[in-house]
Every structure is written in structure tokens, then in C-alpha cells.
Amino acid sequence: MGVPKLLGSQLDKRAEGIKADLDEARALREEAQTVLASYERKQKDVAEQAERIVAHAKEEAATAAELAKQDLKDSIARPPRPLNWPKRI
């Protein structure tokens, strides 16, 4: 076996190793992109859910505020009871 053949063999082994490393890197990159896309979808879903929760809470707060205003108006509009009137049960 001559030196050129030995060098050629070593270069072929090196090229095969580099190709295997590149193939592995491509596979890892594809896996990372898949995981990233999954997390981005989950983040979007959670953000949408948070927006719905906040909107619902605002609606409930507005409804509670309106009920409180009406209760206050009703209590102000009701004539005061004389002290000797029986209390409601």
C-alpha cells in the first residue's frame, strides 16, 4: 500500500465522518424546528386563552359594578324605616 493510497483512504474516512456529522446536524436542526414550532403554537394558544380570561373577567366586573350601582340606587330611593318598624327576616 502506497502513501497516496493511504492518504486517499484516510481522506475518505474523514469525508464519511464529516458527512455523518452533517446528517446528524440536519436531523437535530429539524427536530429543534419541530419543537420550536410546537412551543410557539402552545404559546399562542396560552396567550389567546389569557385574553379570553381577561375579557371574561372584565365583563363580570362590569356586570358586578352595574349591579352594585343599581343596589345603591335602590337603597337610596327606599324611604327610611322608622325605628319601631320590625326588621325583615
- Note the pLDDT of residue 87: 66
- Note the pLDDT of residue 83: 65
pLDDT values of the chain reduced to their tens digit, one per residue, 89 residues: 677 788 889 999 999 999 999 999 999 999 999 999 999 999 999 999 999 999 999 999 999 999 999 989 888 877 666 666 666 66
What is this structure's pTM? 0.56
Q: Which residue has 325605628 as its cell numbers?
A: 83
Give one word for 80, left, alpha or beta, with left for phi > 0 and alpha for psi -120 to 50.
beta
What is the three-class DSSP state of 53? helix
Q: What is the DSSP letter of 79?
A: P
